[in-house]
Amino acid sequence: MSIEILPLAPAFLDQAQALLEAACAHDDVAGLGREKLFAPGSGDLAAEPLAAFEGEQLVGVACTSGKWLRLLAVAPDRRCQGVGSELLERCHAQIASHGAVARTMDQPGNYLSPGVDNQNRGVLEWLSKRGYTRCGKACNLLINVQDNALVSQEKFEEMRSRVHDEGYEIARLPWEKLVETADHVATNFSEGWKHEMTRSATHSQGVHIALVRNTGQLAGFAAHDGNNAGRGWFGPTGTLPAHRGKGLGAALLLASLLDIRNAGHRQCQVAWVGPRAFYYKIAGIASERTFTVLHKDL
């Protein structure tokens, strides 16, 4: 039976979610179908989801957004039969309307993972055979938040007291400060960080901020579950240059890790990690995931 590639309609979300959970062995996709297939990326760059049907059966899904191949998944029992190749061809046609290069997964503001998991050698080889080459790498850290002496309310209160003595206050972002804070994040960091921070505040109240006590000026922030909502992912986080070295980053990290622990997660995943030593010192590192970013000239 031939394969028909069509735009994925929201009415097929439940089927698409089930397919993703069956197909994605290296990523925790539970409950993420709507976000990954239909939600925009940074700058409101629209998602363009696709479905592969064999008759009335959904056998594959994919999503592009701008130049990014955000995801592509084929039902395990329909692999090696051309479904993925047909989906990829249609993805390339969509991406070509935005530019001349396709890039895998690391879309600012909305990504299942920041590249192809290096354990997923089959997908790396499959993309390589279709003209993709390596253009970057990324690393996520896993931090235990249950039964971790470094992640405790007592440790957080100790850090909060230290930064108070330095003239700062740690607080959960109030709704009325969301727009102002988002604009600060965009100006001082990036639009991608603004996108994730806004989603975090809107969907999980997962943003903590550091303020200068005598002026109310924003000094730093930390967010979680703005991307891959509900999966216990930490980030983005940043401290403005004039306020670094005061312990704000540590206090903000602990505030977020306690949120993630209290939500019932055993681990927090720190995405696209920067200062590895900082996370090791403050909360310890249980393990890590590494990724490869690929691109292809169209």
Across the range 160-169, mean pLDDT stands at: 97
Q: Round to whole Å and give the CA distance between 197 and 178.
A: 9
Q: How far is CA 33 from CA 60, 71, 122, in A?
A: 13, 11, 23
pLDDT confidence band for 245 (50 / 70 / 90): very high
Closest listed residue to residue 50, CA positions, set 73, 25, 78: 73
Helix (H) or strand (E) holding 50: strand 48-54
1 has pLDDT over 70: no
pLDDT confidence band for 203 (50 / 70 / 90): confident
User: What is the per-residue pLDDT for 71?
Assistant: 96
Query: Nearest 10 degrees: CA dihedral of 63, 66, 70, 73?
Result: 30
Q: What is the pLDDT of residues 68-92, one digit of tens each?
A: 999 999 999 999 999 999 999 999 9
Closest listed residue to residue 197, CA positions, set 211, 210, 183: 183
pLDDT confidence band for 136 (50 / 70 / 90): very high
**Residue, of 275 and 86, whose pLDDT is higher:** 86
267 has pLDDT over 80: yes
pTM for this predicted structure: 0.94
Q: Round to whole Å and give the CA distance between 192 and 43.
A: 7
Burial (CB < 10 A; 0-12, 13-18, 19+), residue 74, is: buried
Both tokens of 158, joined, read 């100790």
- Contact yes or no for 71/105 (Cβ under 8 A): yes
Burial (CB < 10 A; 0-12, 13-18, 19+), residue 297, is: exposed
Q: How far is CA 245 from CA 162, 216, 237, 250, in A?
A: 12, 19, 15, 10
Coil vs helix vs strand at 211: strand
pLDDT confidence band for 274 (50 / 70 / 90): confident
92 φ, ψ to 5°?
-60, -35
Across the range 206-229, mean pLDDT stands at: 96
275 has pLDDT over 90: no
Q: Round to whole Å and give the CA distance between 60 and 170.
A: 45
Q: What is the pLDDT of residues 91-129, one digit of tens each?
A: 999 999 999 999 999 999 999 999 999 999 999 999 999
In whole numbers, what is the pLDDT of the chain averaged over residues? 96
Q: What is the pLDDT of residues 45-76, one digit of tens each?
A: 999 999 999 999 999 999 999 999 999 999 99
Which domains are seen in the chain, by residue range?
Answer: 3-137+292-297 (3.40.630.30), 146-265 (3.40.630.30)
